[in-house]
């Protein structure tokens, strides 16, 4: 079966070095099969289906990601799509169901490292705090304005993205981390030129920060000055900005002050 992919080209072929620089790698050619069926039929399948929303399960060499009350994405190793569709067809024979091989629809980018949640938070509205997001979680959402499916694994997050959007997402990752001299770091031990700072507080020239935000199409929100003045981590400097992680994790800029999620600092 490996011969079938000997001359295949994945959506992010040739970009391994760029992705590695941001703690990411493409997981190419995974088998992906979309299943629609009555949840009551789950016990007939040769592997477990999650019935709880936004959960994925693994078993029998397959992973099943919950997409909706009667829909799942079944994932297997490269070249296993035919075997998966055959297994599902036999198990659900005579029942109303739909099994479609969608392996060519998406590629997968896997993010590792402690800073991956800060990176994802720049363009994703999900609550990625461990209280709500942990291994075994999955969810459909938008990332950098692109529809994606996130899957949280042990020590890694997989991003299922349409092949036609994969290059855009890779560009977004690399631009966000490296644009204007930014670099992804471990939260809580970040700072200009590698110097430690208080958790979630970093400095960046305001002009560079505003330019980076505008170029990436992120949201700007104006706050009332009293809120900024009262905040212990705010700054009124005209040439630099101090920024923190607000609860809603949205970038905020007021006059010469900026509040920005942690994990992005000036490169050493």
Which distant-in-sequence residues (6+ apart) come within 8 Å of 224 by Cβ? none
Alpha helices in 109-205 (DSSP H): 116-121, 163-178
194-217 core/surface letters (b: 16 or more CB in 10 A; e: else): eeebeebbbbbbbebbbebbeebe
Q: What pLDDT, on the 0 to 100 scale, is given for residue 76?
A: 98
Alpha helices in the chain (DSSP H): 16-21, 81-91, 116-121, 163-178, 206-215, 225-230
CA within 13 Å, CB half, 201: 11
Which distant-in-sequence residues (6+ apart) come within 8 Å of 243 by Cβ? 201, 202, 203, 204, 209, 233, 251, 258, 259, 260, 261
- How far apart (Å, rounded) are the C-alpha atoms in residues 84 and 76? 8
Q: What pLDDT, on the 0 to 100 scale, is given for residue 168?
A: 96
Q: Could you give the dihedral angle defined by the CA atoms of residues 195, 199, 200 and 203, in that order, rounded to the nearest 10 degrees? A: -30
Look at residues 24, 63, 34 and name the one whose alpha carbon lies nearest to residue 166. 24
Give tens-digit pLDDT for 146-195: 999 999 999 999 999 999 999 999 999 988 877 634 444 333 322 232 32
CATH class of the domain at 2-175: alpha beta
Q: Two tokens at 227?
A: 């809120």
Q: What pLDDT, on the 0 to 100 scale, is given for residue 62?
A: 97
Please give the angle made by the CA atoms of 25, 29 and 34, to the nearest 5 degrees.
115
- For residue 256, what pLDDT band results from cuts at 50, 70 and 90? very low
* pTM for the predicted model, two decimal places: 0.69
Residue ranges covered by each domain of the chain: 2-175, 185-266
Give tens-digit pLDDT for 75-116: 999 999 999 999 999 999 999 999 999 999 999 999 999 889
| Residue matched to tokens 């010469």 | 256
- How far apart (Å, rounded) are the C-alpha atoms in residues 154 and 112? 10
**Mean predicted lDDT score pLDDT of the chain:** 76
């Amino acid at each position: 079966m490996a011969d079938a992919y000997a001359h295949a080209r994945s959506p992010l072929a040739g970009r391994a070095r760029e992705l590695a620089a941001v703690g990411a790698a493409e997981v190419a050619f995974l088998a992906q099969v979309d299943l629609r069926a009555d949840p009551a039929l789950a016990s007939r399948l040769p592997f477990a289906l999650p019935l709880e929303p936004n959960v994925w399960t693994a078993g029998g060499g397959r992973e099943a990601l919950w997409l909706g009350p009667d829909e799942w994405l079944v994932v297997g190793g490269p070249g296993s799509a035919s075997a998966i569709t055959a297994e599902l067809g036999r198990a659900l024979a005579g029942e109303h169901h739909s099994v479609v091989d969608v392996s060519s629809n998406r590629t997968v980018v896997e993010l590792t490292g402690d800073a991956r949640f800060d990176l994802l938070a720049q363009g994703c509205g999900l609550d990625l705090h461990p209280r709500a997001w942990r291994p075994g979680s999955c969810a459909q959402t938008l990332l950098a304005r692109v529809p994606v499916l996130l899957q949280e694994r042990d020590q890694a997050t997989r991003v299922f993205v349409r092949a036609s959007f994969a290059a855009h997402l890779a560009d977004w990752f690399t631009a966000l981390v490296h644009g204007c001299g930014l670099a992804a770091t471990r939260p809580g031990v970040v700072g200009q030129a590698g110097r430690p700072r208080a958790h979630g507080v970093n400095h960046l020239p305001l002009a560079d920060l505003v330019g980076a935000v505008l170029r990436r199409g992120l949201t700007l929100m104006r706050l009332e000055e009293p809120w900024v003045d009262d905040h212990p981590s705010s700054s009124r400097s005209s040439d630099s900005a101090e920024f923190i992680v607000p609860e809603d994790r949205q970038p905020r800029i007021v006059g010469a002050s900026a509040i920005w999620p942690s994990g992005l600092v000036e490169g050493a």
